[in-house]
């Protein structure tokens, strides 16, 4: 159980290339209105007052971050790995070097999930702080779910009890570090790693708007949604 004095850190893995996005470079640097993808992400995190520090983990060869997000006030560490899990684990080790302790909370958030709102992050924090494990923002599955082979439907799966994982995902540093070390480099999100230790993370309902920019059409949709915000 974490203590009442535990601090909250945000960790943004920002070392990927986003090969499905169709952008000329890493998708986190793709322009969106007056900024870029990761710029909007970091604006939202900076508005969450309970987060004491944000750390961005970029690839060791990344020479763009400071130029692309000159207003960022947190820490940038160049220790990104070959997979998301490796990048996050390396970021946790960097957090320890910055003074983070076992019981401190870490909110891991996708650089490309740039539509996240501070209120949604606050809702996650409120739900997780009293919990021994932690949890994640997620969306209950609404659509009919199909299983596919060679481009054809082969079965319809029961959608009851199915959720789409989002971020942030919020866990105590020590627990998350242990989980990622055990789960290995190919695990696709932090909750999966924590589940591998036998824990059951909280699911905190969010909205479809908190989607991750993955495909070319996602960028125009994100720009349209950002234009409508007040």
pLDDT tens digits, one per residue of 100-128: 999 999 999 999 999 999 999 999 999 99
| Domains parsed from the chain with CATH numbers | 8-132+167-201+211-227 (3.90.550.10)
For residue 4, pLDDT over 70 is answered with no
Q: In what order do the strands lie in the sheet with 105-108?
A: 75-78, 51-58, 8-14, 105-108, 163-172, 135-140, 202-205
What's the confidence (pLDDT) of residue 107? 98
Asked if residue 3 has pLDDT above 70, the reply is no
- Mean pLDDT over each residue of the chain, to the nearest integer: 94
Upstream peptide bond of 168 is cis (omega within 30 degrees of 0): yes
Q: Is the pLDDT of residue 1 over 60?
A: no
DSSP per-residue codes, the chain: ---TT--EEEEEEE----TTS--SS-GGG-EETTEEHHHHHHHHHHT-TTEEEEEEEE-TT---HHHH-TT--SEEEE---SSHHHHHHHHHHHHHHTT--TT-EEEE--TT-TT--HHHHHHHHHHHTT-SS-EEEEEE--S-EEEEETTEEEEEE--TT-EEEEEEEEEEHHHHHHHHHHH-TT--SHHHHHHTTT--PEEEE--TTSPPP-SHHHHHHHHHHHHT--
User: Mean pLDDT across the stretch 200-221?
Assistant: 96
Residue (of 78, 11, 72, 80) closest to 36 by Cα position:
72
Can you give the pLDDT at residue 138?
98
Give the residue with greater pLDDT, 96 vs 23.
Answer: 96
Parallel, antiparallel or unpaired: strands 135-140 and 163-172: antiparallel
The residue assigned the tokens 């983990």 is 57
Q: Please write the tens of the pLDDT for every residue from 166-198.
A: 999 999 999 999 999 999 989 999 999 999 999
Give the per-residue pLDDT at 208.
96
Question: Kind and range of the H or E element at 108?
Answer: strand 105-108
Q: How far apart are CA 8 and CA 52, in angstroms?
A: 6
The pTM (predicted TM-score) of the whole model is 0.94
pLDDT of residue 19: 59
Q: What percent of the chain has pLDDT over 70?
A: 95
Show the tokens assigned to 114. Answer: 């740039």
């Amino acid at each position: 159980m974490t203590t009442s004095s535990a601090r909250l850190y945000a960790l943004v893995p920002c070392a990927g290339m986003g090969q499905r996005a169709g952008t000329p470079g890493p998708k986190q640097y793709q322009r969106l209105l007056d900024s870029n993808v990761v710029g909007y992400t970091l604006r939202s995190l900076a508005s969450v007052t309970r987060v004491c520090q944000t750390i961005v983990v970029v690839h060791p060869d990344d020479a763009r971050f400071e130029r692309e997000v000159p207003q960022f006030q947190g820490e940038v560490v160049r220790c990104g790995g070959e997979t998301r899990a490796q990048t996050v684990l390396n970021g946790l080790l960097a957090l320890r070097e910055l003074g983070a302790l076992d019981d401190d909370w870490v909110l891991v958030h996708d650089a490309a999930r740039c539509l996240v709102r501070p209120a949604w992050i606050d809702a996650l924090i409120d739900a997780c702080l009293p919990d021994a494990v932690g949890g994640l923002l997620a969306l209950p599955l609404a659509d009919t779910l199909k299983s596919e082979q060679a481009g054809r439907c082969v079965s319809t799966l029961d959608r009851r009890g199915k959720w789409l994982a989002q971020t942030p995902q919020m866990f105590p540093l020590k627990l998350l570090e242990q989980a990622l070390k055990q789960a290995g480099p190919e695990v696709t999100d932090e909750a999966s790693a924590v589940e591998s230790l036998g824990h059951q993370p909280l699911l905190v309902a969010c909205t479809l708007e908190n989607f991750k920019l993955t495909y070319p059409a996602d960028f125009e949709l994100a720009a349209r949604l950002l234009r409508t915000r007040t």
